[in-house]
Amino acid sequence: MDRREWLGSLSALGAVPVCEAVAEAYAGADPGTKHEGPLSASHFHFCGIHLAKNNPKLQFVTQHYCVAHTGGAEGDVYQCTLFDGTGKNARLIGVEYLISDEAYRKLPDTEKKYWHAHTYEVLGGGLIAPGMTPEDEMKFMKVVIKTWGKAWHTWPDPSTAVPTGEPLLIWSLMGDGQADPKVVAQRDKDFKVDTAKIREARIKEFGHDVPNVALPKDVNTIGRQWTNDGKDEPKPKK
């Protein structure tokens, strides 16, 4: 059933296509009467490569559109809606929350298992911020590298017509050799970037080597930022 048939069926049942009617009314409303809701704030956009924690070979290029929830006891919480593309018809595939390292350290281990570090994603060039100038992107990455993310893909298989199956807990790339080269190459092609060059520039700017943390053994693995064992701290670039 196409869109026209669907709307016709609703009309036959005496139903009103509420979302469409509201959208049309809102578009023509006086700017002074429009409601300033949570979606009215300006969003910042960044792009990363997600992998399923229970199956790290399952990887996705994911678009993040985020705003800050401010005023909380543990500081700002960045709230992100996740899409499988940047077009108007992109699928909404999940959500992600970003918190500071200080807030993460206060969580119990039973909660920490849901949160992944962004350290390698930043230094390895996996995260990019399309639309930002190189200078602004670097400033942005200096904030993100200190955060932890809790992400769920509620449309676990974007190839399906509707979102089916259990939500996927998402993890981050945390070491060389973990990313699917085809996924990285496609991302680089789509956004006209070079991950290797981004990596080189960020290592130079941050003065740290990239992390080397193994993929999670299971869904209960607690993430680390820099090393597999010992003190979890950065190493100077070689």
Domain boundaries, the chain: 1-35, 40-206
The one-letter amino acid code at 162 reads: V
What pLDDT was estimated at residue 171? Answer: 98
What pLDDT was estimated at residue 19? Answer: 38
Query: In order along the chain (238 residues), what is the average pLDDT of each group of 10 residues?
Result: 41 41 48 70 92 96 94 91 96 97 97 98 97 95 97 94 96 97 97 97 96 96 95 86
| Pairwise CA distance, residues 74 & 56, whole Å | 30
Pairing type for strands 147-153 and 92-100 reads antiparallel
What pLDDT was estimated at residue 42? Answer: 83
Q: At 68, is the secondary structure helix, strand, or coil?
A: strand
What pLDDT was estimated at residue 22? Answer: 39
What pLDDT was estimated at residue 235? Answer: 84
Q: Which residues pair with 236 in a beta bridge?
A: 208
What H or E segment, with its residue span, contains residue 55? strand 55-69
What torsion do the CA atoms of 123, 127, 130, 135 make, to the nearest 10 degrees? -20
Cβ-Cβ contacts under 8 Å for 12 (sequence gap 6 or more): none
Q: What is the pTM of this model?
A: 0.85
Residue by residue, DSSP assigns 95-114 as EEEEEEHHHHHTS-HHHHTT
Structure tokens at 172: 């981050």
